[in-house]
Amino acid sequence: MVCAQVETSPRRRWQKVLYERQPFPDNYVDQRFLEELRKNIHARQYQYWAVVFESGAVAQQLCSVCVFVVTWWYMDAGMLSPQRLFGAGLVSSLLGYILFNVIDAGVGRQESGRTWWADLKSTLVFIAFTYGFSPVLKTLTESISTDTIYAMSAFMLLGHLIFFDYGANAAIVSSTLSLNMAIFASVCLASRLPRSLHAFVMVTFAMQIFALWPMLQKKLKAQTPRCYVAVTMLFALAALVGLMTISSVGAVLFALLLLCISCLCPYCLIRLQLFKDNIHGPWDEAEIKEDLSRFLM
Partner 1 sequence: MAAGGPARRAHNVCMVSDFFYPNMGGVESHIYQLSQCLIERGHKVLVVTHAYGTRKGIRYLTNGLKVYYLPLKVMYNQSTATTLFHSLPLLRYIFVRERVTIVHAHSSFSAMAHDALFHAKTMGLRTVFTDHSLFGFADVSSVLTNKLLTVSLCDTNHIICVSYTSKENTVLRAALDPQIVSVIPNAVDPTDFTPDPSRRDDSITTIVVVSRLVYRKGIDLLSGIIPELCQKYPDLHFLVGGEGPKRIVLEEVRERYQLHDRVRLLGALEHQDVRNVLVQGHIFLNTSLTEAFCMAIVEAASCGLQVVSTRVGGIPEVLPENLILLCEPSVKSLCDGLEKAIAQLRSGTLPSPETVHNKVKTFYTWRNVAERTEKVYERVADEVVLSMDERLNRLISHCGPVTGYIFALFAVLNFLFLVFLRWMTPDSIIDVAIDATGPKGAWTKQYFLGKKGRVKEEILNS
Residues making contact with partner 1 (CB under 8 A): 1, 16-19, 21, 25-27, 29, 33-34, 36-37, 278-279, 281-290, 292, 295-296
Smallest gap from Cβ 174 to partner 1, in A, equals 20
- By the 8 A CB rule, do 168 and 160 touch? no
CB of 286 to partner 1, least distance (A): 4
Closer Cβ to partner 1, 6 or 279, answer by number: 279
Q: Supply the minimum distance, in Å, between the C-beta of residue 159 and partner 1.
A: 23
- CB nearer to partner 1: give 2 or 249: 2
Q: How many angstroms separate the CA atoms of 263 and 91, rounded?
A: 34
| Number of residues that make up the chain | 297
- Euclidean distance between the first and the last CA atom of the chain, given in angstroms as a whole number: 54
Smallest separation (angstroms) from partner 1 to the CB of 169: 16
Least gap, CB of 297 to partner 1 (angstroms): 9
Could you tell me the CA-to-CA distances from 126 to 129, 200, 221, 274 in Å, in that order? 5, 11, 27, 50
Nearest to partner 1 of 170, 292 (CB atom)? 292
**Cβ-based nearer residue to partner 1, 11 or 294:** 294
Q: Report the residue number, 2 or 77, with the smaller CB distance to partner 1.
A: 2
C-alpha radius of gyration, the chain, whole number: 29
| Structural element, H or E, at residue 252 | helix 248-259
Positive or negative CA dihedral for 59, 61, 63, 69?
negative
